[in-house]
Amino acid sequence: MRPRIRSGAALALCAALLAACFSAAAADRVKIGVLTDMAGVTVDATGKGSVEAARLAVEEAGGKALGQPIEIVSGDHQHRPDIGSSMARRWFDVDKVSVIVDVPNSAVALAVQGVAKEKKKLVLFSSPGTTALTQEQCSPYGIQWTYTTYALSRGTANAVVREGNKRWFILASDYAFGKQLAADTAAVVKAAGGEIAGTVYHPLNASDFASFLLQAQASKAQIIAIANAGGDTISAIKQASEFGIGRGGQKLAAMLLMLTDVHSLGLDVAQSTYLTVPSYWDMNEGTRAFSKKFEARVGHPPTFLQAGVYSAVRHYLKAVAAAGTTDSDAVAAKMKELPIDDPFSLNAHIRADGLVVRDMMLAQVKTPAQSKAPWDYYRVVRTIPGDELAWPLSDSKCPLVHP
C-alpha cells in the first residue's frame, strides 16, 4: 500500500505543479481586447480599422510576447455604457484579457475605466476625448493616448479666433464627449476675447439638423462650431452646406473631423476647414509605410484614432517585454518610463495623470485643385507644441497628481 500512497502523492504534486505552470502561463499571456464601434456613428473612424491597427502592431512585434502567441479579441459596445462595461467585465474575468484598447464614445469609456480600475487592468483610450478620463475620474490603469477635447478646442478655436472670428455658436452632441467639447471650445473662445452666441445639443446619430442649423443662422454668429463625431459631423456639415450657411457669410469650424469624414463630404464641401490633428497618414516615411499596409486591408489610410490604436498597442507590447510580465502595475510603470517611439507620435510622453502629451498639427482641408492624389486632403499649417494643448499638472483634478 505504501508505494501506492507515494505514487498518489507524487501524481497530486505533479498535477498541482502543472496547474501552477498553466496558471502562470495564462497570467502572462497577452490578450488584447479592441472595444470599438462596429456599426454606429464612428464606425469608419474606428471599427474594423481599429482592430486591424492593433493586429498590425502585434505583427510588428512578431506575433508573440513573453514567448507566447498574442491574441486579439474585439467587440462592439453599441455606444451604450452598460454594454461596454459588461463586456469589459467579462473580458477581464472570464476571457482573461490583459488590456483593452480604443473605446470610442466618452460615456462608454468612463464606464469601462471604472471596471478596469476595480479589476486593476489597463485600458488604452485612443478614441474618447473627454478630459474626465485624466482629470476627476483618472485611474492608475487608464491612459488617454491620442487626444482630448481640451487639446482639439485649444488648437482649432485659438486659430480661428485669432483671424478675427469673435462671435461663435456651438452645435454639439448630447452626451459626455459633445458636452465636454462644447464647454472646452466655449472656454477657449472666451479666453481669446470672443463670445458664445448660443449652444444647442442634438441626440447621437441624428438625421435632421434643420432646427439646430436654423438656430445657428439666427444667432448671427460668425462661426458655427460643430462639436460632434463621425456620421453626425458629416450630416451636420452636409446640411449646413444645403442651407447655404457658407454663402450667407457664416463659417464652420469642425472641432473633431476625421480623414474619413472629409472623404465622405468631398473636398468641394469640406475645403478650407481648419482642424487640429495629432497625426496624419502623410506625415513622414514611417506613417506612409504603415498606411500602405493598413489601406491594403481596410481600404483607406488610418484615421488618427486608428493610428492611435496602433501606437498604443505597439508601446504596450514594448513595455510588456521590458517588464517581463503582463502585471498591470509593472507594465504601466514601464509604459511611463519608456519613450514613446512610433512614426505617428510627435514628442509624446505619458504624464502622472495618464494623459499622453504630444505635439499636434493645425491643418486645413485642401481645395480640390490643391489635392494631388487620393486621400491627399490636409495642408499642415503649423505644429502646435504639446504643452500648449494640455492643462498644467498644477491645475490637475486627478487624485493621482494631488493625493
CATH, residue 97: 3.40.50.2300
The verdict on residue 5 lying in a domain is: no
> So what's the pLDDT on residue 9?
53
| Same-domain status, 108 and 231 | no
Largest Cα–Cα distance of the chain, in whole Å?
99
DSSP assignment of 8-76, as one string? Answer: HHHHHHHHHHHHHHHHHHHHT--EEEEEE-SSSTTTTTSHHHHHHHHHHHHHHTTTEETTEE-EEEEEE
| Same-domain status, 237 and 380 | yes
| Same-domain status, 51 and 70 | yes
Q: Which of 206, 87, 146 is nearest to 356 (CA)?
A: 146
Q: Which of 252, 241, 306 is nearest to 279 (CA)?
A: 306
Residues with Cβ within 8 Å of residue 16, at least 6 apart in sequence: none
| Same-domain status, 236 and 167 | yes
| Same-domain status, 384 and 315 | no
| Same-domain status, 73 and 186 | no
| Same-domain status, 337 and 248 | no
* Grid cell listed for 189: 473662445
The verdict on residue 14 lying in a domain is: no
The verdict on residue 25 lying in a domain is: no
| Same-domain status, 252 and 380 | yes
> So what's the pLDDT on residue 248?
84
Domain count, the chain: 2
Cα separation, 265 vs 243, whole angstroms: 15
The verdict on residue 402 lying in a domain is: no
The verdict on residue 171 lying in a domain is: yes
Is the sign of the CA dihedral 76, 81, 82, 88 positive or negative? positive
341: phi then psi, degrees, rounded to nearest 5: -130, 90
| Same-domain status, 168 and 141 | no
Residues with Cβ within 8 Å of residue 257, at least 6 apart in sequence: 233, 270, 273, 275, 365
| Same-domain status, 236 and 373 | yes
Q: What is the extent of the structural domain holding 376?
A: 150-277+360-388
Residue 306 and residue 281 in contact, taking contact as beta carbons nearer than 8 Å: no
122: phi then psi, degrees, rounded to nearest 5: -80, 145
User: At CA 24, angle to CA 21 and CA 29, rounded to 5?
Assistant: 120
**Radius of gyration from C-alpha coordinates of the chain:** 23
pTM: 0.90
Residue-wise pLDDT tens for the chain (403 aa)?
Answer: 444 444 555 545 444 444 444 444 456 899 999 999 999 999 999 999 999 999 999 999 999 999 999 999 999 999 999 999 999 999 999 999 999 999 999 999 999 999 999 999 999 999 999 999 999 999 999 999 999 999 999 999 988 898 899 999 999 999 888 999 999 999 999 999 999 999 999 999 899 999 999 999 999 999 999 999 989 999 999 999 898 888 888 989 999 999 999 999 999 999 888 899 999 999 999 999 999 999 999 999 999 999 999 999 999 999 999 999 999 999 999 999 999 999 999 999 999 999 999 999 999 999 999 999 999 999 999 999 999 999 999 999 999 998 7
The verdict on residue 226 lying in a domain is: yes
The verdict on residue 397 lying in a domain is: no
| Same-domain status, 167 and 133 | no
DSSP assignment of 305-373, as one string? Answer: HHHHHHHHHHHHHHHHHHHTS--HHHHHHHHHHSPP--TT-SS-EE-TTSBEE--EEEEEEPPTTT--S
Residue 224 and residue 218 in contact, taking contact as beta carbons nearer than 8 Å: no
Cα separation, 187 vs 181, whole angstroms: 10
The verdict on residue 3 lying in a domain is: no
SS3 99: strand
> So what's the pLDDT on residue 2?
46
**Number of alpha carbons in the 13 Å side-chain half-sphere of residue 228:** 29
* Grid cell listed for 334: 514601464
| Same-domain status, 265 and 170 | yes
The neighbouring-strand residues paired with 363 are 275, 380
Residue 339 identity (one-letter amino acid): P
